A and B are shown apart, each in its own frame.
Chain A
Amino acid sequence: MGMGNGSPIDSEAIDECVEQMRQQLDKGVVKVRFRYQKGHPFKQREGKDLRAARITVTPGIHERGGYFDIQWWENGDYKYHYREDGLEFRFGHEAANETTNKPVRHFHPPNDLDTHTKSCIEIEQPPKLVTIAVLKTWWTAVKNGDENFLNAQNGLP
């Protein structure tokens, strides 16, 4: 059980997400770095077999900026992990939750990261589309300076 459930990492999907982020946010994307091996630091691009991307974005919800860490696996699982000083949240897709009481498409809210709330994002593919949805929830929180908007986008404000 777990993200990806042992399937290989979908480096192409991660790249598509980065491209989509740049397209949507333009100068809101400050920097993009990549991880090439489990547990290793993020660094500049040095090949296409990336395992995760870290996108530094600006502005933030309460701070001047944050990190979006993005991962996709070949079984369709994904993780979008956002962090700024004093606040983090995650949108995830975990197929292995199918056999548990946790939702496959879930949201870990800022106030309680261990909680698996049902995600407002139901689309699963392609990564570009999921990225737009995640960015929209984040952007609404940024605009309002309020993280409570994050997973509350059905019946958009």
Chain B
Amino acid sequence: MTDEPSPPDGPDEFPTEEELPDEPVTVDDIDPFTVDDDDFEDIDDFAAAEWKNETTADERIRTVINRTTIPKSAGDIAETAQVSETKARATLNKLAEEGIVRSHQTDSGKLYGRNPEWHLLKQINQLADSETLVDQIQRVKQELAEYNAKYDATDPEELLISDKELTQNELDDVSHWRTAERELSHLRAAYRLKEAKEQGSTVTEPGDRQTGTETTTPAGNQPPLQ
């Protein structure tokens, strides 16, 4: 319930003995990093070197562009991805051809961002595999109903544009409310996609049976063109 105080966020929340493995794990059992401390004076340099050591340039560019919602120059993306600008530009142009990246020319040069449609479709397609879509939709709808009732408003933007100065707790509610709205639209789209997929597979069955009598046709097992 959104009206209840947040769960303890203080020092009393820590793992109990039962939560931890019976066989103690010590610092000698774990080796988290592949690069050596001694070579770095700065935490940022250390982290960058570690990330570079674990990944390929292509992987890092994909990681960075996947999060680039506001288009940026190849130079900026190269810097975040720890690759050369030439490498970044070549990879980004290739990804743009594949539809994963969207690029556009501006007065100050070419800018690259993730293709929002490609990204959305990928997420919905992944969600459509879930077996618990209806449960998830109900959970999110319940959450939205709680916010509607709590603030007597149909959407979080009403709160943001009101004269009221929002407290930290209310801003947190706005964050969750917006997240729930985003999620409900994704879940519903995924449900429709799942339905369409299932529909598609039942419709082809009679067709399969029909073509089954003509197995010698050159079309083979390809679907009829009509």
Asked if A139 and B32 sit within 8 Å, CB to CB, the answer is yes
Query: Which B residues contact A (CB, under 8 angstroms)?
Result: 1-2, 4-7, 9-11, 13-15, 17, 19-21, 24-27, 29-30, 32-33, 37-38, 40-44, 46-48, 50-51, 54, 63-64, 66-67, 69, 80, 123, 126-127, 130, 132, 135-136, 139-140, 143, 156, 160, 166, 168, 171-176, 178-180, 182-183, 186-187
The 8 Å CB contact of A132, one of B38, B50, B67, B171, is B50
Asked if B11 and A133 sit within 8 Å, CB to CB, the answer is no
Q: Report the Cα distance A4→B140, complex, angstroms.
A: 20
Q: Report the Cα distance A155→B69, complex, angstroms.
A: 34
Asked if B2 and A126 sit within 8 Å, CB to CB, the answer is no
Q: List 5 A-B contacts (CB under 8 A).
A: A4-B171, A4-B172, A30-B20, A136-B46, A143-B27
Residue of A whose beta carbon sits closest to that of B147: A38
Given pairs A28-B32, A156-B43, 14 additional interface contacts (CB within 8 A): A4-B172, A6-B160, A6-B175, A8-B175, A9-B175, A30-B19, A47-B130, A48-B123, A48-B126, A56-B15, A59-B25, A87-B11, A153-B46, A156-B46
Asked if A4 and B43 sit within 8 Å, CB to CB, the answer is no
In the complex, whether A46 has a CB less than 8 A from a CB of chain B is yes
Asked if A51 and B179 sit within 8 Å, CB to CB, the answer is yes
Residue of B whose beta carbon sits closest to that of A47: B136
Q: Report the Cα distance A139→B27, complex, angstroms.
A: 9
CB distance from B132 to the nearest CB of A (A): 7
In the complex, whether A103 has a CB less than 8 A from a CB of chain B is no
The 8 Å CB contact of B64, one of A73, A122, A125, is A125
CB distance from B177 to the nearest CB of A (A): 9
Q: Which residues of chain A have C-beta atoms less than 8 A from B173's C-beta?
A: 38
Knowing A38-B2, A39-B2, A67-B13 are in contact, say whether A13-B67 is a contact too (CB < 8 A): yes
Query: Which A residues contact B (CB, under 8 angstroms)?
Result: 1-9, 11-13, 16, 23-28, 30-31, 36-41, 46-49, 51, 56, 58-59, 63-67, 73-74, 81, 83-88, 120-123, 125-130, 132-133, 135-137, 139, 142-143, 153-157
The 8 Å CB contact of A122, one of B20, B44, B187, is B44
Q: Which residues of chain B have C-beta atoms less than 8 A from A85's C-beta?
A: 14
The 4 closest A-B pairs by CB, nearest first: A133-B47, A49-B183, A153-B43, A2-B168
Asked if B67 and A126 sit within 8 Å, CB to CB, the answer is yes
Asked if A73 and B15 sit within 8 Å, CB to CB, the answer is no
Q: Report the Cα distance A9→B126, complex, angstroms.
A: 19
Asked if A63 and B14 sit within 8 Å, CB to CB, the answer is yes
Interface centre among A2, A23, A127, by most chain B C-beta atoms within 10 angstroms, is: A2
Q: Which residues of chain B have C-beta atoms less than 8 A from A87's C-beta?
A: 11
Asked if B37 and A8 sit within 8 Å, CB to CB, the answer is no
Asked if A6 and B44 sit within 8 Å, CB to CB, the answer is no
Q: Report the Cα distance A8→B54, complex, angstroms.
A: 30
Q: Report the Cα distance A143→B51, complex, angstroms.
A: 21
Knowing A65-B19, A84-B15 are in contact, say whether A26-B30 is a contact too (CB < 8 A): yes
Asked if A132 and B51 sit within 8 Å, CB to CB, the answer is yes
Asked if A83 and B44 sit within 8 Å, CB to CB, the answer is no
Asked if B25 and A83 sit within 8 Å, CB to CB, the answer is no
CB distance from A20 to the nearest CB of B (A): 9
CB distance from B150 to the nearest CB of A (A): 11
Q: Which residues of chain B have C-beta atoms less than 8 A from A30's C-beta?
A: 15, 19-21
Residue of B whose beta carbon sits closest to that of A137: B43
Interface centre among B38, B173, B174, by most chain A C-beta atoms within 10 angstroms, is: B174
